[in-house]
Chains A and B, each alone.
Chain A
Amino acid sequence: MTWSKQITQLLKDYNIRFLSYVPDAIGEQILKHARQDAFFDLLPLAREEEGVGVVAGQYLGGSRGAVLMPTSGVGNAVNALASLAIPYEIPLPMFIGWRGDLGEFNSAQVPMGQALRPILDSLNIPHFMLTRPDDVDTVVDGALKLAFAHERPVAVIISTQLAGWKDEK
């Protein structure tokens, strides 16, 4: 099973039906499986911050949701994470396609890519890096379990080491 298929299966195992997303090349590898599975209900967003509000509403309405976003989207979502998901204790699994690190071609992606983990750290959002196929089941299973036990955002960062980087000089 590919890493992306494993994640899709774990989302089902945790009964996470609603997937909100701003697309990126890494997240798309998960979404392509989810689109072919009637279990999932996908919501394209215009901006990542919306996803924090949407998942909060879904959770308060009795359903689990998760957000898929590129690295830049974390920057767009910071205040909603800090002022809604954390104080109101919303379980919010975030799947972040990492840009601005290993194999990056685009200098404008690098500052946010390097700031990603410090930003999550400063918000006390637990985050876990996916780098090796063998770790995917354990890390994603554990991250989802933590999100719903801790009732807070938890981030899974999908590295280019696992998902591949853009073939551009």
Chain B
Amino acid sequence: MINRLEATRYVVAQVTDEPIVASLGNAKFDLFLAKDRPQNFYMWNSMGMASSMGLGLAMARPQQKVIILDGDGALLMNLNSLTTAASRAPENLIHVVWDNRQFELTGGQPTHTAYRTDLAMIARGAGFTQVASAETQEAFEAAFAHALKTPGPWILVAHIDAQRSPGRPPKSATYIKHRFMQSLGIEPV
């Protein structure tokens, strides 16, 4: 089983100035703990929107990889975004899904991946051809390193444990936005 914080630490150690969009809850808490960097976009609500926002960012910045750190519950809320992303198929998109088979933040209620639902198979069915599942840190590291070097779009489903994160990123939405845009060298457009 993968530990989300350990795997997130690996992700931020592999990137330089690539933007990372982190879904609400523990995905963004652990991203903050692993490394608070201005190229991190912390989503404080908008459950499910990380996948759509990452797609938009990947369309606007085709010259660099764009990474999404998502959760199983959030992705299940916006599954249709997989069909949109797969149809557009931006080569620079890496969509990581931390799958702990539960709504961890709200008390550990099981998500559908606790039973019959397989997000990697859904991604393939949506039209993704570059899909990997990882059960161990070693397998995740290999898959992520490969995804960084090869054209995507990639879906990496990481089967993680259920450790709550104490990380708390900045709470000002406009601070997050302005810091993020400035770090990419973007003036308001």
Interface residue ranges, A against B (CB under 8 Å): 15, 18, 20, 41, 43-47, 49-65, 79-80, 83-84, 87-90, 151
* B51: Cβ under 8 A from any A Cβ: yes
**A49 vs B50: C-alpha distance in the bound complex, in angstroms?**
12
- B50, B52, B57, B61: which contacts A52 (Cβ < 8 A)? B52
| 9 cross-chain CB contacts under 8 A | A46-B81, A46-B84, A50-B55, A54-B84, A62-B181, A62-B184, A79-B46, A88-B173, A88-B174
- Are B84 and A44 within 8 A (Cβ)? yes
Nearest-Cβ distance from residue B172 to partner chain A, whole angstroms: 9
- B46, B58, B84: which contacts A80 (Cβ < 8 A)? B46
Besides A43-B59, A57-B57, A65-B56, 10 other CB < 8 A contacts?
A44-B84, A49-B78, A50-B55, A53-B81, A60-B56, A79-B45, A83-B45, A84-B53, A87-B173, A90-B177
Tally of A-B Cβ pairs under 8 angstroms: 128
* B88: Cβ under 8 A from any A Cβ: yes
Q: Report the contact-size class of chain B (Cβ under 8 Å from the partner).
A: 35 or more
Nearest-Cβ distance from residue B41 to partner chain A, whole angstroms: 7
In the complex, residue of chain B having the shortest beta-carbon distance to the beta carbon of A46: B80
- Are B81 and A50 within 8 A (Cβ)? yes
Nearest-Cβ distance from residue A153 to partner chain B, whole angstroms: 13
Interface residue ranges, B against A (CB under 8 Å): 19, 21, 41, 43-61, 78, 80-81, 83-84, 87-88, 173-174, 176-177, 180-181, 184, 186, 188-189
**A58 vs B19: C-alpha distance in the bound complex, in angstroms?**
12
- Are A44 and B87 within 8 A (Cβ)? yes
Question: Which chain A positions have C-beta within 8 A of B55?
Answer: 50, 53-54, 57
